[in-house]
Structure 1
């Protein structure tokens, strides 16, 4: 009887161990999955259970979620990576850069949309190329107003071009005024020279007339003395 009982216990142990063995694989798979989503590991393994019983169905369901989560995290990582690259491009002066990767996380989707909207506003208010704007401002500081921003669309770009046009217009008006003033000054100088010449001529004529009158007066006095 004792032998039968011992045999039965051993048999029951092996049966239970075999029946519950998939639990160890499930536990290992879940541990690997949790390490993955907690960024402790970069890879995750699926649960290897070949049975078609309840444990097999549970394992398949868990595996589907593991793979879906892995794909989602990869999408999110790609979106975050592209976001960082986009910020770097914007820091370089290009305001046309946008985030195109589609994350799976709803919060990351919202963040992507907010960042892209912010870049839309910046491009509309400022322009497309901060480097080109800075270059034009540096030229303006050097009093060089020959160049303009090409394909200007942002408010700052349009205002910069308008400012350059107004300054060029003012400089042209100042140049025209200076030329006109120089022309009038030349005319005035010519008139003064002419007046001076005329005055000198008249003065000489008056001197000659005075001399002639003096000579006539002297002659008349001589005639009076003789008579």
Structure 2
């Protein structure tokens, strides 16, 4: 195979003669090198893309798992929750930090409410056995829980006062003193009926004793 050209200075026609197979061999080698280079570049690009995607999706998966665990904690399916650990300083790291701060705050509030609920349950257990004098501090984080606990606390106090009044009346009757009168304007239902009946009983016995004394 020959490759010819005109020399501009001499005007001569100059030809380069070479074996055809050697020219095609060089072209083939060059093509092979380009193909191999492209394959290597594509492989490097694919690996780099995979690593980049994995580095992005891994924190996202951790955030998703942390959220699911947090919801299980809120629904009392778990008794504790682990903080979200991301060793990044980008936006996902900031999200993880804010998430952990809020989780710690909510966990403290839930713990305070759980402690208050435990105290009220213990007070109710004592009330079932006849002891209405249980006292406990209302310091939950949820205002509705505090409101309910305060209402229960005041109810137990009223019940305790009613039973103390009844016991005091019976104590005086045992000592032959029937002048005691139960005064509880807040009593309703069976407590009011019991108070009225005890007052009537004391008055009846007192009047009966007066009549007995007069007949002697």
1:84 deviates by 1.7
2:64 to 9, 14, 27: 27
Cα deviation per residue 1:91-115 (whole Å; 9 max; x = unaligned)?
3334443452322223222322332
2:176 alignment partner in structure 1: 146
Distance 1:123 1:154 in 2: 12
The answer to whether the aligner puts 1:74 opposite 2:114 as a matched pair is no
Alignment of 1:26-65 (within 5 A): 26-65=63-102
Structure 2 length normalisation: TM-score?
0.61
**Normalized per residue, which structure has more helix?**
1
Structure 1 length normalisation: TM-score?
0.59
Aligned residues: CA RMSD: 3.5
Larger Rg: 1
| Structure 2 unpaired stretches of 5+ | 1-37, 186-191
Distance 1:153 1:100 in 2: 29
1:11 to 24, 37, 48: 48
Alignment of 1:206-225 (within 5 A): none
1:136 alignment partner in structure 2: 170
1:122 deviates by 4.4
| Structure 1 unpaired stretches of 5+ | 180-227
**Normalized per residue, which structure has more strand?**
2
